[in-house]
């Protein structure tokens, strides 16, 4: 596995641990539909959080959350609509980003709720 793939997988595990610590229920990880992959689907207080995890080894090229592009958002919306439809859910949904940045041997985790809206 490439070094950046290992960092990404580690970041996703840090995000899951973070959400569990904040009393979220993890419903799915790496949910795939069509061309999209939702990193984490979690629920808390009757809200479905669609979580995109962005992990970077530095912020030299920008904050991790800056790398979520409009095409990716469109695909995420399509995937979560499929998830909700197949499971016949009636639930409020929001799109979050968990931004993880490595600094030396430690990692900082930032949870951005309602990070973007579907369009």
As a whole number of angstroms, the distance between CA 64 and CA 110 comes to 10
CA distances from 16 to 41, 90, 95, 101 (A): 10, 24, 15, 15
Pick the CATH number of 3-116 from 3.40.1350.10, 3.90.1300.10, 3.40.50.720, 3.30.470.20: 3.40.1350.10
Q: Is the CB of residue 40 less than 8 Å from the CB of residue 32? A: no
Q: Whose CA is closest to 48, among 72, 24, 30?
A: 24
Which pLDDT does position 119 carry in this prediction? 43
Domain ranges of the chain: 3-116
Q: Is the CB of residue 52 less than 8 Å from the CB of residue 96? A: yes
- How does the average pLDDT of the chain come out, rounded? 87
For the chain, which residues score pLDDT lower than 70? 1-4, 58-67, 117-119
Which pLDDT does position 42 carry in this prediction? 98
Reading the block at residue 78, the tokens are 């399509």
**pTM over the 0.85 mark:** yes
């Amino acid at each position: 596995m490439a070094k950046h793939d290992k960092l990404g997988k580690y970041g996703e595990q840090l995000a899951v641990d973070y959400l569990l610590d904040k009393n979220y229920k993890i419903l799915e990880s790496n949910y795939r539909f069509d061309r999209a992959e939702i990193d984490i689907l979690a629920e808390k207080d009757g809200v479905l959080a669609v979580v995109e995890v962005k992990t970077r080894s530095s912020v030299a090229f920008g904050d991790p959350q800056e790398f979520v592009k409009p095409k990716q958002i469109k695909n995420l919306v399509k995937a979560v609509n499929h998830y909700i439809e197949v499971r016949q859910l009636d639930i409020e949904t929001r799109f979050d980003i968990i931004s993880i940045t490595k600094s030396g041997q430690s990692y900082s985790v930032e949870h951005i709720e309602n990070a973007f809206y579907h369009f």
